[in-house]
């Protein structure tokens, strides 16, 4: 077999061997969902779907239905003292971008203060937490990939107002592969 035929044959073999793996994602998405095309979209600053997720005011800008289930993105507008306790995601990675204020973030036991322009990455299976510190409200853009976590936030936002029922919230989060540590 000459070089050209080898490349052609081995490229086809490698490509065919990789395609089945494409459809066995950790997110349990169907072939149809994985092949959905992302939808071009412009979201103005004032636009989005607002959820109060146990005190975390989130404006969802992109959801899985917009991005072919690749990513979900929301803006957190949070008062000082509000945050999320240490937890682990088993399905998605997260990126946190602080736009305004100060956010203390803990990733894998290490704490950092993020200020406007700072970014943190929390991969799945690594404990992390965040809390707004200082005296001003914080604005943070959070991205999670793959998408899917937005469904959990919707469910959490439907809990009754007032102090959260931690057991109920924990059970909801567990259905989406998130545990508190």
Question: In the chain, what are the domain boundaries?
Answer: 3-29, 49-180
Contact 25, 34 (CB under 8 A): yes
The C-alpha atoms of residue 69 and residue 6 are separated, in whole angstroms, by 36
Question: Which two tokens mark 118?
Answer: 């700072």
pLDDT tens track for 7-45? 454 444 444 333 344 334 444 555 555 546 788 999 999
CA dihedral 145, 151, 156, 161 (to 10 degrees): 120
User: What contacts 101, CB < 8 A, 6 or more positions away?
Assistant: 80, 115, 116, 132, 134, 136, 137, 138, 139, 140
Q: What is the pLDDT of residue 39?
A: 85
Query: Picking from 27-36, 105-114, 121-130, which range would have the lowest pLDDT averaged per residue?
Result: 27-36
**What SS3 string covers 69-129?**
CCCEEEEEEECCCCEEEEEEECCCEEEEEEEECEEEEEECCEEEEEECCCEEEECCCCCEE
Q: What is the pTM of this model?
A: 0.79
The C-alpha atoms of residue 48 and residue 40 are separated, in whole angstroms, by 15
pLDDT tens track for 72-84? 999 999 999 999 9
C-alpha neighbours within 13 Å on the C-beta side of residue 108? 7
Architecture of the domain defined by 49-180: Sandwich (2.60)
């Amino acid at each position: 077999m000459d070089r050209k035929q080898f490349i052609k044959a081995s490229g086809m073999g490698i490509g065919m061997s990789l395609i089945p793996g494409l459809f066995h994602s950790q997110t349990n998405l169907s072939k149809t969902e994985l092949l959905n095309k992302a939808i071009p979209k412009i979201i103005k600053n004032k636009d989005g779907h607002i959820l109060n997720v146990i005190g975390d005011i989130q404006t969802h800008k992109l959801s899985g239905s917009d991005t072919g289930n690749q990513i979900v993105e929301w803006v957190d507008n949070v008062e000082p003292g509000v945050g999320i306790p240490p937890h682990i995601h088993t399905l998605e990675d997260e990126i946190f971008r602080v736009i305004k204020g100060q956010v203390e973030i803990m990733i894998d036991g290490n704490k950092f203060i993020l200020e406007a322009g700072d970014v943190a990455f929390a991969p799945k299976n690594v404990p992390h937490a965040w809390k707004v510190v200082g005296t001003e409200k914080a604005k943070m853009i959070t991205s999670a990939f793959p998408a899917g976590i937005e469904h959990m936030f919707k469910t959490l936002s439907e809990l009754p107002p007032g102090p959260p029922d931690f057991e109920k919230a924990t059970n909801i989060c567990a259905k989406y592969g998130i545990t508190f540590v």
